[in-house]
Amino acid sequence: MPMQPIKFYYDVLNQSSRALYIFLEASKIPFEAVPISLLKGEHLTGEYRDKVTRFKKVPAISDHGFQLSESVAIFRHLAREKLVPEHWYPRKNLGRSRVDEYLEWRQRNMGVACTDYFQQKWLVPYLQKTKPNERSVDVAEKQLERTLNDFENLFLSSKRFMIGDNISYADLMAICEIDQPKYIGYNTFASRNKLTRWYDAVREELGPYYKQVSSEFENKLRKAEKGHKEAISLKQ
């Protein structure tokens, strides 16, 4: 009997949403995509809170009435409950522990640094209809520089992917987070040869799934930026 689709609530502006969207597509897990606009505040409505997630965040899922949020919790739920290719969360050679190690590290490192830069450079100015605060952007950029250097030194080696020759969810989560600053103009790869090689390998491995979601992310950014520039010009 085929699996019934889960409902997946997401916004491509959110890196965790993109990672899960790609994971669902690549793993052939049946799902119904339900876009939620963060910029319009659709995640803050009472209906979303009551019917989807009390945390009022994306991503979120409803799996046969079981509602769950927090991207890592969703990933682990899907890895346990669905037919998922082993390489995403491998049991062999302690691979699962290595994936978990990165997923824990990223919470206070990669996730914070990429999100803060994106917010200071793009999101806060968009919401406030102003130009970026140069000092805030500079502070966020220095934090991002340190974090990317740490990521390259701690997690990347001569191996094709983070934990070996096969891609894992750690790679997928990392590339989506790195794309947050990259797609708004940050020079991610300057003097980072290992990061460049790894990024290209992940992008190639994910193929059309990554290309589709990244294209949607970029298009949404550009559309919002156009409206932002028009709003600023009207204030001047």
* 101-121 confidence digits (pLDDT tens): 999 999 999 999 999 999 999
State the pLDDT confidence band at 1, using cuts at 50, 70 and 90. very low
Q: What percent of the chain has pLDDT over 90?
A: 91
Q: Is the pLDDT of residue 232 over 70?
A: no
- Confidence band of 43 (pLDDT split at 50, 70, 90): very high
Residue 236's pLDDT band (boundaries 50, 70, 90)?
low
**CA 123 to chain CA mean position, Å:** 15
**pLDDT, tens digit (0-9, with 9 covering 90-100), for 153-205:** 999 999 999 999 999 999 999 999 999 999 999 999 999 999 999 999 999 99
Give the whole-angstrom CA distance, residue 147 versus residue 210. 23
| Contact of 52 with 67, CB cutoff 8 Å | yes
- Tell me, what's the pLDDT at 169? 98
Model pTM above 0.75: yes
**92: pLDDT confidence band, cut at 50, 70 and 90?**
confident
Question: How many angstroms separate the Cα of 30 from the Cα of each of 5, 71, 81?
Answer: 4, 18, 13
Q: Mean of the pLDDT values across residues 68-81? A: 97
Sorted by where each starts, the structural domains of the chain and their CATH numbers stand as: 6-84 (3.40.30.10), 92-235 (1.20.1050.10)
